[in-house]
Chain A
């Protein structure tokens, strides 16, 4: 199975590493070459420098035979557009798009996009934690 991870930040790099560990063929894409260092010295997957809006970059990453694409740059609107391009132009069925804004995530989910919104998850977990008072009190640091 082959995955392309567009946007190799904190989230994207971890997704790339995890999938690689599970035996996937993984190519990470990021605008900045420095992002490669997030994957560690022993990274044996692919890495392409470039913007996800650039179709030639996606082709170089091997988009045409990708089974799954994770779009996780730090720009919600970039992720929305890149996700749609990957789905419509390259026909990749499994496209997962990370969006920080819950409102846009909900709207595009209604439109059939697979969106993941960490903000919504955080809101849920935090509210729930407060509700049940399940947050452990931090140990007091002795003066």
Chain B
């Protein structure tokens, strides 16, 4: 497997190290001269100096072969998007992985079809949420391509929705409550199911509707 990595920071350099150790062929592109020199001492000819969004730099790094996969791991989100677009659209690279530095830019990666993406902040937030569901809503499954996710919500004491049947709630468009877990028992939810404080409810919804769902199930 031939892997092209753009960005020789901690992520890029460690990926290169691991892949080389696993016997894969790697080229690493680094723009900063000081960093490039340090990497060159360790990786020798594997490192190419230059801006990985410049076509001639990518070509010098062998993108025309093309690589099995291109990893855009620079510290700049716009650069990572452009690297992935060039790799896929211009050079016919089939697989790309992009690093998202600022989670607020995730929407742009999604809009422009750059995927899969990896965002450290979002991953850590998801772990925090799972450990400490402070926001009242835990993500159990996310399928961004299918535009759907499954979340778990615990109905708080004094919630407005407690004591009401599901058919009387105004749920966000495209969402459904799937099941209710109460006193250790699990049942499939239907319109007639009445919610109670302490219920653990599973819901299926399109991404981005979490806040609306929170309002319906958590507000008091």
Contacts and interface: CB of A to CB of B under 8 A. Distances in A.
Contacts of A89: 111
Contacts of B86: 104, 107
Given A88-B111, A101-B54, A103-B54, A77 B78 contact: yes
Given A103-B56, A107-B90, A81 B107 contact: no
Contact of A77 (B53, B55, B107, B112): B53
A103 B104 CA distance: 29
B108 A80 contact: no
A88 B111 CA distance: 8
Given A53-B105, A111-B89, A104 B79 contact: no
A54 B104 contact: yes
Interface residues of A, number: 18
A75 interface: yes
Contacts of A101: 54
Interface in B56-86: 56, 76-79, 81-82, 85-86
Nearest to B114: A81
A55 interface: yes
A88 B104 contact: no
B72 to A, nearest CB: 11
25 contacts: A53-B77, A53-B105, A53-B108, A54-B104, A75-B78, A76-B53, A77-B76, A77-B78, A77-B82, A78-B78, A80-B81, A81-B78, A81-B82, A81-B112, A85-B111, A85-B112, A88-B111, A89-B111, A101-B54, A103-B54, A103-B56, A104-B54, A104-B55, A107-B55, A107-B89
